[in-house]
């Protein structure tokens, strides 16, 4: 089989699918600064936009999840009115489209945006309105993107059943699934079984943050007790894989996840910044890809990691020698794993993704 080397030009032109991206983790630094000035928020570490952009990126030696999460206090502070949420959602959709993303599922926790009295339904509607506006703006520039929303519950806040019901109530308006996010250690998925059972009874979709900062028990609970359709991160499944000579031996949980084709929403640069992986070169995504887990590539938080989906593909291509064919395989994995209706997934794959990569391969 012939292979095509990945270049920045090919990566930029290739259709991409994004399944794991946080709305409050992808705000433009300039927008944070502007909105903070408008509301008199004075807790930002600097008033210089370039310095602020650098501050948000938690890539210093010894960085961990605690340092990584510090930036969210500032982005959430400027996402407390309908206009603020609409603007940030609009810019998110537009920025992703201009990066070549053709389908995205953006997640956020509405419960974190009520500090100024917004109702939960107002928070969600503001985000949906913003996504629609950004999508239209991108279309006017010749870029087409489909943006859908995942409602997250903060696993330490004990409002997960309320958030699950909220997600279901907006299922016909652009919300495509439910998630729990926040610190894994000490807050296992099984504490939220009532929320997951509600989602199951409603024939709805769920993904669960598991296997990032915490290990195999988090993945096991998410899969076996909560029946997660996808795993947010999930990279610690590599802890259940043993190298024996020139071969790899999968433990029972790793075999189950691979056999069931449970998608892994892998975010390599974010994992390095939170301490879940020591370096990009040592990240288990390449092993998981070679072993044919249902791997997808994602950004997690574009602001906090200083990345785009294109730059993430470029970094992994440099680290692991990925080709255009590998990028297409990962993109198809993401499309197949999306919370999009089956016929719509097929149309996305057959009418957008496969023709897009075929055109790139045909370039002289």
Q: Which residues are catalytic?
A: 212
Q: Which residues of 226-257 are buried (b: 16+ CB within 10 A; e: fewer)?
A: bebbbbbbbbbbbebbeeeeeeeebeebbebb
Burial of 351 (0-12, 13-18, 19+ CB in 10 A): exposed
Q: Is the dihedral of CA 274, 278, 282, 284 positive or negative?
A: negative
CA distance 249 to 244: 7
Dist CA 134 CA 90 (whole Å): 4
Strands 241-244 and 247-250: antiparallel
Helix/strand/coil for 133: helix
Strand partners, 244: 247
Cα torsion angle, 235, 338, 28, 315, sign: positive
């Amino acid at each position: 089989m012939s292979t095509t080397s990945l270049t920045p030009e090919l990566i930029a032109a290739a259709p991409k699918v994004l399944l794991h991206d946080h709305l409050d983790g992808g705000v433009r630094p300039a927008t944070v600064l502007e909105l903070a000035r408008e509301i008199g928020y004075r807790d930002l570490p600097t008033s210089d936009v370039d310095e602020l952009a650098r501050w948000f990126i938690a890539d210093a030696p010894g960085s961990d999840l605690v340092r990584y999460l510090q930036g969210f206090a500032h982005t959430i502070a400027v996402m407390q009115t309908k206009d603020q949420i609409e603007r940030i959602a609009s810019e998110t959709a537009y920025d992703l489209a201009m990066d070549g993303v053709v389908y995205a599922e953006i997640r956020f926790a509405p419960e974190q945006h009520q500090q100024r009295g917004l109702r939960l339904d107002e928070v969600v509607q503001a985000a949906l309105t913003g996504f629609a506006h950004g999508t239209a703006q991108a279309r006017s520039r010749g870029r087409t993107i489909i943006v859908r929303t995942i409602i997250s519950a903060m696993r330490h806040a004990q409002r997960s059943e309320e958030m699950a019901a909220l997600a279901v109530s907006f299922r016909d308006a652009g919300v495509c699934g439910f998630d729990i996010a926040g610190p894994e250690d000490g807050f296992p998925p099984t504490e939220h079984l009532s929320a997951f059972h509600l989602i199951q009874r409603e024939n709805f979709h769920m993904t669960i943050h598991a296997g990032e900062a915490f290990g195999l028990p988090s993945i096991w609970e998410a899969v076996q007790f909560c029946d997660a359709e996808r795993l947010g991160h999930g990279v610690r499944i590599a802890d259940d894989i043993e190298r024996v000579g020139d071969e790899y031996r999968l433990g029972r949980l790793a075999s189950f996840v691979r056999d069931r084709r449970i998608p892994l929403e892998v975010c390599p640069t974010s994992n390095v910044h939170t301490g879940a992986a020591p370096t990009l070169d040592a990240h288990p995504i390449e092993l998981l890809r070679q072993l044919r887990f249902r791997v997808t590539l994602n950004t997690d938080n574009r602001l906090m990691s200083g990345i785009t989906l294109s730059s993430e593909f470029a970094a992994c291509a440099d680290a692991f020698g990925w080709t255009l064919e590998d990028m297409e395989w990962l993109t198809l994995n993401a499309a197949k794993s999306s919370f999009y209706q089956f016929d719509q997934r097929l149309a996305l794959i057959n009418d957008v993704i496969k023709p897009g990569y075929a055109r790139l391969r045909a370039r002289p």
